C-alpha cells in the first residue's frame, strides 16, 4: 500500500503526468512486488515560485516521496530506484539526474487500514520482506 507523492513544475501535458504515475507504479510492482491494483498516487504541479530547482537540475526536476510499509531490503530499494529512473527516462523522457526519490517507512502499527485496524494486525495478502 505505498503512498506516492510526486511534485513537478506546472504546465505538463496529461500524457506526461500519466507517464510519470504509470512509470512509478510499474516500478513498485516490479521491485516491491506489490499487487497491480494497489495504487495510491498523488501528483502536485507547482508554480515556479513554489518549486525551487537547484542549478544542477533542469525544469524537468521531479521529487518523488514514497511512504511504504517497513521491511523491504536494500536490494529491493536499489531495484526500485533504478526501475523508476529507467521508466521515467523512457517515458516521458526525464533525465535520471533530475529525479529525486525518498522513501519513508513508518512502523506498520502507524498505518490504519481495512476499517481502522493497525496494518500489523491485518493479512495484507502480499509479502513485504522482498
Q: What's the whole-number mean pLDDT along residues 99-110?
A: 95
**What pTM does this model have?**
0.93
pLDDT digits (tens, 9 = 90+) for 106-115: 998 999 998 9
Confidence tier at 95 by pLDDT (50, 70, 90): very high
pLDDT digits (tens, 9 = 90+) for 58-79: 999 999 999 999 999 999 999 9
- In sequence order, the β-bridge partners of residue 104 are 67
How remote is the C-alpha of 99 from its chain's centroid?
11
Domains of the chain: which residue ranges? 3-121
The pLDDT value recorded for residue 128 is 87
Q: What contacts 24+ positions apart, CB below 8 Å, involve 93-96?
A: 93/60, 94/20, 94/60, 94/62, 95/58, 95/60
120 with 106: CB under 8 angstroms?
A: no
48 with 98: CB under 8 angstroms?
A: no
Whole-number Å distance between alpha carbons of 39 and 111: 16
pLDDT digits (tens, 9 = 90+) for 1-60: 799 999 999 999 999 999 999 999 999 999 999 999 999 999 999 999 999 999 999 999
Whole-number Å distance between alpha carbons of 62 and 87: 13
The pLDDT value recorded for residue 127 is 82
Topology, domain 3-121: Macrophage Migration Inhibitory Factor (3.30.429)
Amino acid at each position: 500500500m505505498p503512498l506516492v507523492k510526486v511534485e513537478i513544475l506546472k504546465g505538463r501535458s496529461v500524457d506526461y503526468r500519466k507517464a510519470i504515475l504509470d512509470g512509478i507504479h510499474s516500478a513498485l510492482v516490479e521491485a516491491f512486488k506489490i499487487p497491480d491494483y494497489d495504487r495510491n498516487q498523488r501528483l502536485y504541479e507547482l508554480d515556479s515560485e513554489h518549486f525551487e530547482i537547484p542549478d544542477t537540475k533542469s525544469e524537468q526536476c521531479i521529487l518523488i516521496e514514497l511512504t511504504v510499509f517497513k521491511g523491504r531490503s536494500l536490494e529491493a530499494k536499489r531495484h526500485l530506484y533504478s526501475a523508476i529512473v529507467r521508466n521515467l527516462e523512457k517515458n516521458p523522457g526525464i533525465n535520471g539526474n533530475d529525479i529525486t526519490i525518498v522513501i519513508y517507512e513508518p512502523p506498520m502499527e502507524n498505518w490504519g487500514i481495512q476499517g481502522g485496524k493497525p496494518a500489523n494486525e491485518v493479512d495484507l495478502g502480499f509479502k513485504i520482506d522482498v
